[in-house]
Structure 1
Protein backbone atom coordinates (compact mmCIF):
# COMPACT_ATOMS: atom_id res chain seq x y z
CA UNK A 1 0.00 0.00 0.00
CA UNK A 2 2.85 2.35 0.92
CA UNK A 3 4.56 1.64 -2.40
CA UNK A 4 1.36 2.38 -4.32
CA UNK A 5 0.92 5.65 -2.37
CA UNK A 6 4.52 6.64 -3.10
CA UNK A 7 4.07 5.86 -6.80
CA UNK A 8 0.88 7.93 -6.92
CA UNK A 9 2.58 10.92 -5.28
CA UNK A 10 5.47 10.66 -7.73
CA UNK A 11 3.05 10.68 -10.69
CA UNK A 12 1.21 13.71 -9.32
CA UNK A 13 4.46 15.54 -8.69
CA UNK A 14 5.68 14.68 -12.16
CA UNK A 15 2.51 16.03 -13.71
CA UNK A 16 2.82 19.25 -11.75
CA UNK A 17 6.41 19.72 -12.90
CA UNK A 18 5.45 19.04 -16.51
CA UNK A 19 2.59 21.53 -16.24
CA UNK A 20 4.95 24.02 -14.68
CA UNK A 21 7.24 23.84 -17.69
CA UNK A 22 4.28 24.77 -19.88
CA UNK A 23 3.13 27.66 -17.66
CA UNK A 24 6.41 29.17 -16.46
CA UNK A 25 7.61 30.44 -19.84
CA UNK A 26 4.48 32.60 -20.17
CA UNK A 27 4.73 33.81 -16.57
CA UNK A 28 8.35 34.86 -17.03
CA UNK A 29 8.11 35.91 -20.64
CA UNK A 30 11.02 38.24 -21.32
CA UNK A 31 10.92 41.55 -23.09
CA UNK A 32 11.13 41.48 -26.87
CA UNK A 33 14.34 42.52 -28.55
CA UNK A 34 14.69 46.24 -29.25
CA UNK A 35 16.14 47.64 -32.44
CA UNK A 36 17.54 51.19 -32.07
CA UNK A 37 16.34 53.73 -34.63
CA UNK A 38 18.75 56.03 -36.40
CA UNK A 39 15.95 58.53 -36.93
CA UNK A 40 14.45 59.84 -34.79
CA UNK A 41 17.47 59.36 -32.50
CA UNK A 42 16.95 57.82 -29.07
CA UNK A 43 13.91 55.77 -30.07
CA UNK A 44 13.83 51.99 -30.47
CA UNK A 45 11.54 49.61 -32.31
CA UNK A 46 9.88 46.33 -31.42
CA UNK A 47 7.75 44.17 -33.68
CA UNK A 48 4.21 43.25 -32.74
CA UNK A 49 1.56 41.11 -34.40
CA UNK A 50 -0.89 41.62 -37.25
CA UNK A 51 -1.48 44.94 -39.03
CA UNK A 52 -3.91 46.37 -41.57
CA UNK A 53 -2.23 48.35 -44.32
CA UNK A 54 -3.51 50.56 -47.09
CA UNK A 55 -2.46 53.39 -49.35
CA UNK A 56 -0.16 56.38 -48.88
CA UNK A 57 -0.94 57.95 -45.47
CA UNK A 58 -0.69 61.43 -47.01
CA UNK A 59 -3.42 60.73 -49.58
CA UNK A 60 -6.76 62.48 -49.14
CA UNK A 61 -5.78 64.40 -46.03
CA UNK A 62 -5.70 67.90 -47.48
CA UNK A 63 -8.57 70.35 -47.13
CA UNK A 64 -11.42 69.16 -49.31
CA UNK A 65 -10.12 65.60 -49.36
CA UNK A 66 -8.27 65.86 -52.69
CA UNK A 67 -5.86 62.98 -53.05
CA UNK A 68 -3.84 64.94 -55.63
CA UNK A 69 -2.91 67.76 -53.25
CA UNK A 70 0.35 66.97 -51.45
CA UNK A 71 0.44 67.17 -47.68
CA UNK A 72 2.11 70.27 -46.30
CA UNK A 73 3.70 68.67 -43.22
CA UNK A 74 6.91 66.77 -43.85
CA UNK A 75 8.38 64.27 -41.36
CA UNK A 76 11.60 66.32 -41.11
CA UNK A 77 9.65 69.39 -39.97
CA UNK A 78 8.53 67.57 -36.80
CA UNK A 79 11.97 66.99 -35.29
CA UNK A 80 12.23 70.35 -33.53
CA UNK A 81 9.17 69.67 -31.34
CA UNK A 82 8.69 65.94 -31.83
CA UNK A 83 7.37 64.99 -28.39
CA UNK A 84 4.75 67.73 -28.40
CA UNK A 85 3.47 66.54 -31.78
CA UNK A 86 3.58 62.91 -30.70
CA UNK A 87 2.34 63.04 -27.11
CA UNK A 88 0.80 66.54 -26.98
CA UNK A 89 0.22 67.65 -23.36
CA UNK A 90 1.49 64.32 -21.97
CA UNK A 91 4.99 65.29 -23.12
CA UNK A 92 5.11 67.78 -20.27
CA UNK A 93 3.67 65.52 -17.55
CA UNK A 94 6.15 64.44 -14.90
CA UNK A 95 6.04 60.79 -13.84
CA UNK A 96 3.68 59.79 -16.63
CA UNK A 97 4.50 57.34 -19.43
CA UNK A 98 2.86 58.69 -22.60
CA UNK A 99 1.41 56.40 -25.26
CA UNK A 100 0.69 57.63 -28.79
CA UNK A 101 -1.75 55.26 -30.50
CA UNK A 102 -2.19 55.28 -34.30
CA UNK A 103 -5.29 53.54 -35.63
CA UNK A 104 -7.83 53.30 -38.42
CA UNK A 105 -11.49 52.88 -37.43
CA UNK A 106 -11.97 50.05 -39.94
CA UNK A 107 -8.80 48.11 -39.17
CA UNK A 108 -10.02 44.97 -37.32
CA UNK A 109 -6.82 44.67 -35.29
CA UNK A 110 -7.16 48.33 -34.24
CA UNK A 111 -10.65 47.73 -32.88
CA UNK A 112 -9.35 44.99 -30.59
CA UNK A 113 -6.17 46.76 -29.50
CA UNK A 114 -7.82 50.15 -28.97
CA UNK A 115 -10.37 48.58 -26.64
CA UNK A 116 -7.64 46.81 -24.67
CA UNK A 117 -5.53 49.97 -24.55
CA UNK A 118 -8.48 52.00 -23.26
CA UNK A 119 -9.09 49.43 -20.52
CA UNK A 120 -5.40 49.44 -19.58
CA UNK A 121 -5.41 53.24 -19.45
CA UNK A 122 -8.42 53.19 -17.11
CA UNK A 123 -6.72 50.63 -14.90
CA UNK A 124 -3.35 52.40 -14.68
CA UNK A 125 -4.94 55.84 -14.32
CA UNK A 126 -2.40 58.66 -13.88
CA UNK A 127 0.55 56.35 -14.56
CA UNK A 128 -0.02 56.65 -18.33
CA UNK A 129 -1.46 59.19 -20.74
CA UNK A 130 -2.86 58.02 -24.07
CA UNK A 131 -2.98 60.29 -27.12
CA UNK A 132 -5.08 59.03 -30.01
CA UNK A 133 -3.82 59.72 -33.53
CA UNK A 134 -6.10 59.22 -36.50
CA UNK A 135 -4.27 57.33 -39.26
CA UNK A 136 -6.88 56.51 -41.94
CA UNK A 137 -5.16 54.11 -44.34
CA UNK A 138 -8.08 52.03 -45.59
CA UNK A 139 -9.82 54.36 -48.01
CA UNK A 140 -12.22 57.27 -48.20
CA UNK A 141 -14.57 55.89 -45.53
CA UNK A 142 -11.68 55.77 -43.06
CA UNK A 143 -10.78 59.36 -43.89
CA UNK A 144 -14.40 60.45 -43.43
CA UNK A 145 -14.57 58.77 -40.01
CA UNK A 146 -11.25 60.28 -38.93
CA UNK A 147 -12.32 63.76 -39.96
CA UNK A 148 -15.65 63.34 -38.15
CA UNK A 149 -13.93 62.26 -34.92
CA UNK A 150 -11.53 65.21 -35.01
CA UNK A 151 -14.38 67.59 -35.83
CA UNK A 152 -16.31 66.18 -32.85
CA UNK A 153 -13.27 66.96 -30.69
CA UNK A 154 -13.87 70.63 -31.44
CA UNK A 155 -17.18 70.18 -29.58
CA UNK A 156 -15.63 68.13 -26.73
CA UNK A 157 -17.26 64.97 -28.09
CA UNK A 158 -14.20 63.10 -29.37
CA UNK A 159 -14.46 60.21 -26.93
CA UNK A 160 -18.14 59.58 -27.73
CA UNK A 161 -17.52 59.67 -31.49
CA UNK A 162 -14.33 57.62 -31.15
CA UNK A 163 -16.06 54.85 -29.22
CA UNK A 164 -19.11 54.84 -31.49
CA UNK A 165 -17.06 54.63 -34.68
CA UNK A 166 -14.92 51.82 -33.24
CA UNK A 167 -17.85 49.68 -32.17
CA UNK A 168 -20.37 50.35 -34.92
CA UNK A 169 -20.90 47.71 -37.64
CA UNK A 170 -21.82 50.55 -40.03
CA UNK A 171 -19.42 52.44 -42.26
CA UNK A 172 -19.30 56.21 -41.95
CA UNK A 173 -21.41 58.12 -44.49
CA UNK A 174 -23.38 61.36 -44.47
CA UNK A 175 -26.54 59.75 -43.08
CA UNK A 176 -24.71 57.83 -40.35
CA UNK A 177 -22.82 60.94 -39.21
CA UNK A 178 -26.07 62.87 -39.06
CA UNK A 179 -27.69 60.21 -36.88
CA UNK A 180 -24.58 59.93 -34.71
CA UNK A 181 -24.47 63.70 -34.21
CA UNK A 182 -28.09 63.69 -33.09
CA UNK A 183 -27.56 60.76 -30.72
CA UNK A 184 -24.45 62.23 -29.10
CA UNK A 185 -25.78 65.78 -29.07
CA UNK A 186 -23.34 67.72 -31.25
CA UNK A 187 -24.10 70.48 -33.73
CA UNK A 188 -24.21 68.60 -37.04
CA UNK A 189 -23.77 71.69 -39.25
CA UNK A 190 -20.71 72.72 -37.26
CA UNK A 191 -19.39 69.15 -37.40
CA UNK A 192 -19.57 69.11 -41.21
CA UNK A 193 -17.88 72.53 -41.44
CA UNK A 194 -15.10 71.49 -39.04
CA UNK A 195 -14.49 68.25 -40.93
CA UNK A 196 -13.20 70.32 -43.87
CA UNK A 197 -11.41 72.88 -41.71
CA UNK A 198 -7.74 73.79 -41.86
CA UNK A 199 -7.16 72.69 -38.26
CA UNK A 200 -8.59 69.18 -38.77
CA UNK A 201 -6.58 68.78 -41.98
CA UNK A 202 -3.39 69.84 -40.24
CA UNK A 203 -3.97 67.45 -37.34
CA UNK A 204 -4.38 64.59 -39.82
CA UNK A 205 -1.30 65.68 -41.74
CA UNK A 206 0.82 65.75 -38.57
CA UNK A 207 -0.27 62.22 -37.66
CA UNK A 208 0.49 61.07 -41.21
CA UNK A 209 3.92 62.72 -41.08
CA UNK A 210 4.63 61.03 -37.75
CA UNK A 211 3.70 57.68 -39.28
CA UNK A 212 6.20 58.32 -42.07
CA UNK A 213 8.88 59.42 -39.62
CA UNK A 214 8.51 56.19 -37.60
CA UNK A 215 8.12 54.11 -40.80
CA UNK A 216 4.77 52.58 -39.86
CA UNK A 217 3.59 50.12 -42.50
CA UNK A 218 0.02 49.86 -41.22
CA UNK A 219 -2.20 50.04 -38.16
CA UNK A 220 -2.30 49.57 -35.25
CA UNK A 221 0.94 51.22 -34.20
CA UNK A 222 2.09 52.83 -30.97
CA UNK A 223 4.90 54.83 -29.46
CA UNK A 224 5.24 54.10 -25.73
CA UNK A 225 7.71 56.56 -24.29
CA UNK A 226 10.66 55.94 -26.59
CA UNK A 227 9.57 52.47 -27.77
CA UNK A 228 7.99 52.22 -31.22
CA UNK A 229 5.61 49.27 -31.69
CA UNK A 230 4.24 48.11 -35.04
CA UNK A 231 1.23 45.78 -34.91
CA UNK A 232 -0.76 44.18 -32.13
CA UNK A 233 1.02 43.49 -28.86
CA UNK A 234 0.04 41.51 -25.78
CA UNK A 235 -1.07 43.27 -22.61
CA UNK A 236 1.72 41.52 -20.70
CA UNK A 237 4.41 42.84 -23.03
CA UNK A 238 2.88 46.32 -23.10
CA UNK A 239 2.85 46.47 -19.30
CA UNK A 240 6.50 45.44 -19.17
CA UNK A 241 7.44 48.10 -21.72
CA UNK A 242 5.56 50.76 -19.73
CA UNK A 243 7.42 49.74 -16.56
CA UNK A 244 10.74 49.79 -18.40
CA UNK A 245 10.06 53.21 -19.85
CA UNK A 246 9.29 54.54 -16.39
CA UNK A 247 12.43 52.97 -14.89
CA UNK A 248 14.78 54.08 -17.68
CA UNK A 249 13.36 57.56 -18.13
CA UNK A 250 11.68 57.89 -21.52
CA UNK A 251 11.90 61.70 -21.49
CA UNK A 252 15.55 61.55 -22.56
CA UNK A 253 14.28 61.61 -26.17
CA UNK A 254 12.56 64.93 -25.57
Structure 2
Protein backbone atom coordinates (compact mmCIF):
# COMPACT_ATOMS: atom_id res chain seq x y z
CA UNK A 1 0.00 0.00 0.00
CA UNK A 2 1.39 3.39 -0.98
CA UNK A 3 2.05 6.08 1.60
CA UNK A 4 -0.71 8.32 0.25
CA UNK A 5 -3.33 5.52 0.36
CA UNK A 6 -2.25 4.56 3.88
CA UNK A 7 -2.60 8.19 4.95
CA UNK A 8 -6.09 8.44 3.47
CA UNK A 9 -7.12 5.19 5.20
CA UNK A 10 -5.87 6.40 8.58
CA UNK A 11 -7.63 9.74 8.13
CA UNK A 12 -10.85 7.89 7.32
CA UNK A 13 -10.57 5.70 10.39
CA UNK A 14 -9.96 8.77 12.56
CA UNK A 15 -13.07 10.50 11.20
CA UNK A 16 -15.16 7.34 11.66
CA UNK A 17 -13.86 6.91 15.19
CA UNK A 18 -14.74 10.49 16.06
CA UNK A 19 -18.22 10.00 14.63
CA UNK A 20 -18.96 6.88 16.68
CA UNK A 21 -17.51 8.48 19.80
CA UNK A 22 -19.85 11.43 19.42
CA UNK A 23 -22.83 9.25 18.48
CA UNK A 24 -22.57 6.46 21.01
CA UNK A 25 -20.08 7.77 23.50
CA UNK A 26 -17.57 5.77 25.53
CA UNK A 27 -18.71 5.54 29.18
CA UNK A 28 -15.23 6.18 30.55
CA UNK A 29 -14.90 9.33 28.46
CA UNK A 30 -18.50 10.44 28.27
CA UNK A 31 -18.81 10.94 31.99
CA UNK A 32 -17.00 9.97 35.13
CA UNK A 33 -20.41 9.78 36.75
CA UNK A 34 -22.16 7.51 34.23
CA UNK A 35 -22.60 4.69 36.78
CA UNK A 36 -24.67 6.88 39.11
CA UNK A 37 -28.41 6.39 38.55
CA UNK A 38 -30.75 9.25 39.40
CA UNK A 39 -34.50 9.66 39.74
CA UNK A 40 -35.87 13.13 39.09
CA UNK A 41 -38.11 14.34 41.92
CA UNK A 42 -41.56 15.70 41.17
CA UNK A 43 -41.17 17.96 44.18
CA UNK A 44 -39.28 20.03 45.00
CA UNK A 45 -38.55 21.05 41.44
CA UNK A 46 -34.98 20.79 40.21
CA UNK A 47 -33.86 18.02 42.59
CA UNK A 48 -33.04 14.37 41.96
CA UNK A 49 -32.53 11.28 44.11
CA UNK A 50 -29.91 8.55 44.17
CA UNK A 51 -30.43 5.33 46.10
CA UNK A 52 -28.56 4.97 49.35
CA UNK A 53 -28.28 2.15 51.85
CA UNK A 54 -29.99 1.36 55.12
CA UNK A 55 -31.86 4.03 57.08
CA UNK A 56 -33.18 4.33 60.63
CA UNK A 57 -36.86 5.20 60.28
CA UNK A 58 -39.19 6.51 62.93
CA UNK A 59 -42.49 8.29 63.31
CA UNK A 60 -41.96 10.03 66.65
CA UNK A 61 -43.61 13.46 66.88
CA UNK A 62 -41.08 15.76 68.58
CA UNK A 63 -43.84 18.21 69.53
CA UNK A 64 -46.03 15.79 71.45
CA UNK A 65 -46.65 17.09 74.96
CA UNK A 66 -46.06 20.75 74.14
CA UNK A 67 -49.76 21.59 74.06
CA UNK A 68 -49.58 22.48 77.75
CA UNK A 69 -46.96 25.06 76.84
CA UNK A 70 -48.26 26.79 73.68
CA UNK A 71 -45.35 29.24 73.68
CA UNK A 72 -42.96 26.32 73.32
CA UNK A 73 -44.85 24.75 70.45
CA UNK A 74 -43.76 26.13 67.07
CA UNK A 75 -46.16 27.22 64.38
CA UNK A 76 -45.62 24.37 61.91
CA UNK A 77 -47.55 26.19 59.18
CA UNK A 78 -45.09 29.08 59.55
CA UNK A 79 -42.20 26.62 59.23
CA UNK A 80 -43.67 25.17 56.03
CA UNK A 81 -44.19 28.65 54.62
CA UNK A 82 -40.59 29.59 55.43
CA UNK A 83 -39.29 26.51 53.64
CA UNK A 84 -41.45 27.08 50.58
CA UNK A 85 -40.55 30.78 50.43
CA UNK A 86 -36.80 30.29 50.81
CA UNK A 87 -35.99 26.64 50.17
CA UNK A 88 -32.31 27.22 49.47
CA UNK A 89 -31.82 29.53 52.44
CA UNK A 90 -33.50 27.09 54.81
CA UNK A 91 -31.90 23.96 53.42
CA UNK A 92 -28.38 25.37 53.13
CA UNK A 93 -28.46 27.96 55.91
CA UNK A 94 -25.24 29.95 56.05
CA UNK A 95 -24.12 29.12 52.51
CA UNK A 96 -23.17 32.32 50.69
CA UNK A 97 -24.15 31.13 47.23
CA UNK A 98 -20.52 30.87 46.14
CA UNK A 99 -20.58 28.58 43.04
CA UNK A 100 -17.13 27.28 43.98
CA UNK A 101 -18.51 25.93 47.28
CA UNK A 102 -20.90 22.97 47.07
CA UNK A 103 -23.73 23.25 49.63
CA UNK A 104 -24.59 20.12 51.64
CA UNK A 105 -27.49 19.59 54.05
CA UNK A 106 -27.26 16.69 56.50
CA UNK A 107 -30.27 15.37 58.45
CA UNK A 108 -29.55 13.05 61.36
CA UNK A 109 -30.81 11.68 64.66
CA UNK A 110 -28.50 11.03 67.62
CA UNK A 111 -30.12 7.62 68.18
CA UNK A 112 -29.47 6.58 64.57
CA UNK A 113 -26.35 4.34 64.45
CA UNK A 114 -25.96 4.79 60.69
CA UNK A 115 -25.91 8.57 61.16
CA UNK A 116 -22.79 8.30 63.29
CA UNK A 117 -20.91 6.69 60.40
CA UNK A 118 -22.29 8.90 57.63
CA UNK A 119 -21.77 12.10 59.58
CA UNK A 120 -18.12 11.21 60.14
CA UNK A 121 -17.66 10.43 56.44
CA UNK A 122 -19.19 13.76 55.48
CA UNK A 123 -17.07 15.76 57.90
CA UNK A 124 -13.90 14.04 56.66
CA UNK A 125 -14.46 14.71 52.95
CA UNK A 126 -11.52 16.53 51.39
CA UNK A 127 -13.90 19.05 49.82
CA UNK A 128 -15.30 19.88 53.27
CA UNK A 129 -11.98 20.08 55.10
CA UNK A 130 -10.44 22.18 52.30
CA UNK A 131 -13.39 24.58 52.03
CA UNK A 132 -14.77 23.38 48.69
CA UNK A 133 -18.05 22.27 50.30
CA UNK A 134 -20.09 23.54 53.24
CA UNK A 135 -22.35 21.43 55.46
CA UNK A 136 -25.53 22.64 57.15
CA UNK A 137 -26.42 20.26 59.97
CA UNK A 138 -30.14 19.65 60.55
CA UNK A 139 -31.52 17.96 63.66
CA UNK A 140 -34.23 15.44 62.76
CA UNK A 141 -35.27 13.77 66.05
CA UNK A 142 -37.66 11.06 64.87
CA UNK A 143 -36.47 8.11 66.99
CA UNK A 144 -37.95 8.92 70.38
CA UNK A 145 -37.87 11.28 73.31
CA UNK A 146 -34.12 10.92 73.94
CA UNK A 147 -33.52 11.89 70.30
CA UNK A 148 -35.52 15.06 70.88
CA UNK A 149 -33.71 15.78 74.14
CA UNK A 150 -30.32 15.49 72.44
CA UNK A 151 -31.39 17.58 69.44
CA UNK A 152 -32.69 20.38 71.66
CA UNK A 153 -29.48 20.33 73.69
CA UNK A 154 -27.31 20.57 70.55
CA UNK A 155 -29.34 23.48 69.18
CA UNK A 156 -29.24 25.18 72.58
CA UNK A 157 -25.44 24.72 72.64
CA UNK A 158 -25.36 26.45 69.26
CA UNK A 159 -26.72 29.57 70.96
CA UNK A 160 -23.50 29.55 73.01
CA UNK A 161 -21.33 28.96 69.94
CA UNK A 162 -20.65 25.32 70.79
CA UNK A 163 -22.80 23.37 68.32
CA UNK A 164 -19.94 21.58 66.55
CA UNK A 165 -18.35 20.40 69.80
CA UNK A 166 -21.68 19.34 71.33
CA UNK A 167 -22.78 17.63 68.13
CA UNK A 168 -19.52 15.70 67.94
CA UNK A 169 -19.71 14.60 71.59
CA UNK A 170 -23.26 13.29 71.20
CA UNK A 171 -22.47 11.39 68.01
CA UNK A 172 -19.41 9.77 69.55
CA UNK A 173 -21.09 8.83 72.81
CA UNK A 174 -22.38 5.26 73.28
CA UNK A 175 -25.02 6.59 75.71
CA UNK A 176 -28.52 7.84 75.03
CA UNK A 177 -29.15 11.38 76.13
CA UNK A 178 -30.37 11.99 79.67
CA UNK A 179 -30.57 15.32 81.53
CA UNK A 180 -27.66 14.20 83.73
CA UNK A 181 -25.48 13.24 80.76
CA UNK A 182 -26.25 16.48 78.92
CA UNK A 183 -25.35 18.44 82.04
CA UNK A 184 -22.02 16.61 82.20
CA UNK A 185 -21.30 17.39 78.52
CA UNK A 186 -22.19 21.03 79.07
CA UNK A 187 -19.80 21.17 82.03
CA UNK A 188 -17.00 19.54 80.02
CA UNK A 189 -17.47 22.13 77.27
CA UNK A 190 -17.62 24.97 79.80
CA UNK A 191 -21.17 25.95 78.86
CA UNK A 192 -23.67 27.79 81.01
CA UNK A 193 -25.94 24.91 81.97
CA UNK A 194 -28.81 27.08 83.23
CA UNK A 195 -28.84 28.97 79.95
CA UNK A 196 -28.62 25.68 78.02
CA UNK A 197 -31.63 24.28 79.89
CA UNK A 198 -33.66 27.43 79.22
CA UNK A 199 -32.74 27.53 75.53
CA UNK A 200 -33.64 23.86 75.07
CA UNK A 201 -37.33 24.70 75.56
CA UNK A 202 -37.20 28.02 73.74
CA UNK A 203 -39.36 28.92 70.78
CA UNK A 204 -36.24 29.53 68.69
CA UNK A 205 -35.01 25.96 69.15
CA UNK A 206 -38.47 24.52 68.53
CA UNK A 207 -38.71 26.56 65.33
CA UNK A 208 -35.43 25.17 64.01
CA UNK A 209 -36.67 21.63 64.56
CA UNK A 210 -39.98 22.51 62.91
CA UNK A 211 -38.16 23.77 59.82
CA UNK A 212 -36.10 20.60 59.57
CA UNK A 213 -39.32 18.57 59.83
CA UNK A 214 -40.88 20.73 57.11
CA UNK A 215 -37.89 19.99 54.88
CA UNK A 216 -38.28 16.29 55.67
CA UNK A 217 -41.92 16.43 54.55
CA UNK A 218 -41.04 18.35 51.39
CA UNK A 219 -38.38 15.84 50.34
CA UNK A 220 -40.32 12.82 51.70
CA UNK A 221 -37.40 11.50 53.77
CA UNK A 222 -38.32 8.07 55.12
CA UNK A 223 -35.71 8.19 57.87
CA UNK A 224 -32.18 9.16 58.75
CA UNK A 225 -29.53 9.77 57.62
CA UNK A 226 -30.64 11.94 54.71
CA UNK A 227 -28.26 14.16 52.77
CA UNK A 228 -28.83 16.79 50.09
CA UNK A 229 -25.68 17.55 48.10
CA UNK A 230 -26.49 20.44 45.81
CA UNK A 231 -29.47 19.15 43.85
CA UNK A 232 -28.90 15.47 44.73
CA UNK A 233 -30.75 13.70 47.55
CA UNK A 234 -29.31 10.58 49.17
CA UNK A 235 -31.06 8.64 51.92
CA UNK A 236 -29.33 6.04 54.04
CA UNK A 237 -25.80 4.82 54.32
CA UNK A 238 -23.47 6.03 51.56
CA UNK A 239 -19.77 5.39 51.00
CA UNK A 240 -17.25 8.20 51.28
CA UNK A 241 -16.12 7.67 47.66
CA UNK A 242 -19.69 8.15 46.42
CA UNK A 243 -20.09 11.29 48.52
CA UNK A 244 -16.89 12.67 46.99
CA UNK A 245 -18.11 11.87 43.46
CA UNK A 246 -21.43 13.59 44.09
CA UNK A 247 -19.71 16.70 45.44
CA UNK A 248 -17.47 16.87 42.37
CA UNK A 249 -20.43 16.35 40.03
CA UNK A 250 -22.39 19.12 41.72
CA UNK A 251 -19.37 21.41 41.47
CA UNK A 252 -19.24 20.83 37.71
CA UNK A 253 -22.99 21.37 37.26
CA UNK A 254 -23.17 24.49 39.42
CA UNK A 255 -25.64 25.52 42.14
CA UNK A 256 -29.07 23.84 42.16
CA UNK A 257 -31.93 25.70 40.44
CA UNK A 258 -33.55 26.49 43.79
CA UNK A 259 -30.45 28.52 44.66
CA UNK A 260 -30.18 30.49 41.45
CA UNK A 261 -31.28 33.67 43.18
CA UNK A 262 -28.84 33.41 46.11
Does the TM-score normalized on the shorter chain lie above 0.5? yes
SS in 1 for 2:228: strand
**TM-fit CA distance, 1:252:** 2.5
Q: Which residue of 2 aligns with 1:115?
A: 120
Residue 155 in 1 paired to residue 160 in 2?
yes
SS in 2 for 1:31: coil
Work out which of the residue numbers 191, 196, 199 in structure 1 matches 2:201: 196
Per mean C-alpha deviation after superposition, the further-off stretch among 186-195 and 34-43 is 34-43
Work out which of the residue numbers 165, 169, 178 in structure 1 matches 2:170: 165
Q: Which residue of 2 aligns with 1:7?
A: none
SS in 2 for 1:83: helix
Structure 1 segments unaligned to the other structure (5+ residues): 1-27
Supply the distance in 2 between the matched residues of 1:30 and 1:83 (Cα, whole angstroms): 27
SS in 1 for 2:130: helix
SS in 2 for 1:32: coil
Cα deviation 1:166-188 (Å, max 9, x = unaligned)? 01111111111111111110000
Q: Which residue of 2 aligns with 1:43?
A: 47
**TM-fit CA distance, 1:232:** 1.1
**TM-fit CA distance, 1:106:** 1.0
Q: Which has the larger radius of gyration?
A: 2
Supply the distance in 2 between the matched residues of 1:172 and 1:61 (Cα, whole angstroms): 18
Q: Is the 8 A contact 1:60 1:143 kept in 2?
A: no
Cα deviation 1:35-92 (Å, max 9, x = unaligned)? 11111100001110010011155644968789x9873445455222100000012152
Q: Normalising by the residue count of structure 2, what TM-score does the alignment of the two structures yield? A: 0.79
Counting only pairs closer than 5 Å after superposition, residues 23-62 of structure 1 correspond to structure 2 as 30-56=34-60, 59-60=63-64
Supply the distance in 2 between the matched residues of 1:76 and 1:123 (Cα, whole angstroms): 30
Judged with a 3 Å threshold, the aligned counterparts in structure 2 of structure 1 residues 57 and 208 are, in CA distance, closer, same or farther, namely: farther
Q: Normalising by the residue count of structure 1, what TM-score does the alignment of the two structures yield? A: 0.82
Structure 2 segments unaligned to the other structure (5+ residues): 1-31
SS in 2 for 1:90: coil
Supply the distance in 1 between the matched residues of 2:97 and 2:80 (Cα, whole angstroms): 22
Q: Which residue of 2 aligns with 1:179?
A: 184
